[in-house]
């Protein structure tokens, strides 16, 4: 069989579609890519992100060009920050002739934490998600999310028990929109300060004693946890919208406790 010259290869994606159905989002998902994120302590942190890149597809196009999504990401190199997220979106719209483009990516973010008594150093990992959308009218939306594990101790259990109280690990998913760029570390610290205790990767016995006693002295329901974070968020003028979702992996129940608060601030 004779191979076609490259310039004569058929472009099926550009053929017309007659079903008159536009597609809201089309693109690539689960694309792993090395990135560098701004780090408050060390300036830059290298990590690996999992990307979803999509655009809208008008009803008259049969398909999109999947390779162009990867090209748009490659053009901007490994440094990812708020400014070039918008550049990537604008490039996607340009390359794919779309009105609206979207980017979502998730990555592990590491913080060096010292144990509270001995000062033993360990690395804690957190999950961070960025999601952004840009359109041809110049509108740009960016949401930053941190997923933070915490310790919660039950106030009811403490109040009714002769000794002890049940406690468990919880998970807070904290999403914000902001006026000016915000540090990932600051979002994590805000969440951790509102729980019974923060978590550590490395604890010696004196540290374990301190963390256990700290949680016992600071009991919080899942309702307290989301309200604490909401109240702290209301004190931050840079935050213009937030959503706080908390889930406790209960230690004495076969189900989880759950609460959520969402607020748009003026």
What are the pLDDT digits (tens) for 92-128?
999 888 999 999 999 999 999 999 999 999 999 999 9
Find out whether 36 and 46 touch, Cβ atoms under 8 Å: yes
Whole-model pTM over 0.85: yes
Give yes or no for residue 8 having a pLDDT over 90: no
What are the pLDDT digits (tens) for 69-89?
999 888 887 777 767 899 999
What was the pLDDT predicted at 59? 66
What was the pLDDT predicted at 266? 73
What was the pLDDT predicted at 43? 83
What are the pLDDT digits (tens) for 157-192?
999 999 999 999 999 999 999 999 999 999 999 999
What are the pLDDT digits (tens) for 11-51?
676 677 677 788 889 999 999 999 988 888 888 899 999 99
Give yes or no for residue 9 having a pLDDT over 90: no
- Name the token pair of 63: 């398909």
Domains located in the chain, CATH noted: 18-264 (3.10.270.10)
At 226, is the pLDDT very low, low, confident or very high (cuts 50, 70, 90)?
A: very high
Give yes or no for residue 238 having a pLDDT over 90: yes
**Residues across the chain:** 266
174 sits in which H/E element = strand 167-178
What is the radius of gyration, based on Cα positions, of the chain?
Answer: 23
**How far from 162 is each of 8, 26, 156, 199, CA to CA, in Å?**
82, 58, 12, 26
- Maximal CA-CA distance, the chain: 86
């Amino acid at each position: 069989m004779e191979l076609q010259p490259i310039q004569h290869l058929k472009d099926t994606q550009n053929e017309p579609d007659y079903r008159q159905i536009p597609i809201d989002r089309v693109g690539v998902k689960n694309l792993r890519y090395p990135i560098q994120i701004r780090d408050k302590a060390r300036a830059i942190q290298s990590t690996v992100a999992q990307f979803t890149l999509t655009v809208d597809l008008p009803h008259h196009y049969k398909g999109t060009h999947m390779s162009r999504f990867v090209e748009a990401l490659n053009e901007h190199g490994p440094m990812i920050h708020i400014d070039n997220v918008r550049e990537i979106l604008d490039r996607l719209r340009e390359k794919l002739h779309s009105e609206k483009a979207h980017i979502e990516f998730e990555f592990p973010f590491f913080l060096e934490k010292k144990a509270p008594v001995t000062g033993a150093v360990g690395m804690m990992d957190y999950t961070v998600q960025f999601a952004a959308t840009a359109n041809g009218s110049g509108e740009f939306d960016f949401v930053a999310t941190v997923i933070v594990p915490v310790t919660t101790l039950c106030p009811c259990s403490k109040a009714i028990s002769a000794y002890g109280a049940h406690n468990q690990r919880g998970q807070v998913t904290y999403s914000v929109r902001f006026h000016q760029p915000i540090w990932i570390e600051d979002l994590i610290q805000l969440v951790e300060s509102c729980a019974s205790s923060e978590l550590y990767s490395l604890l010696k016995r004196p540290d374990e004693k301190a963390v256990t006693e700290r949680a016992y002295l600071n009991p919080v329901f899942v309702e307290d946890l989301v309200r604490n974070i909401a109240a702290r968020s209301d004190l931050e003028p840079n935050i213009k919208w937030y959503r706080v979702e908390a889930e406790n992996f209960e230690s004495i129940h076969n189900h989880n406790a759950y609460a959520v608060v969402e607020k748009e601030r003026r």
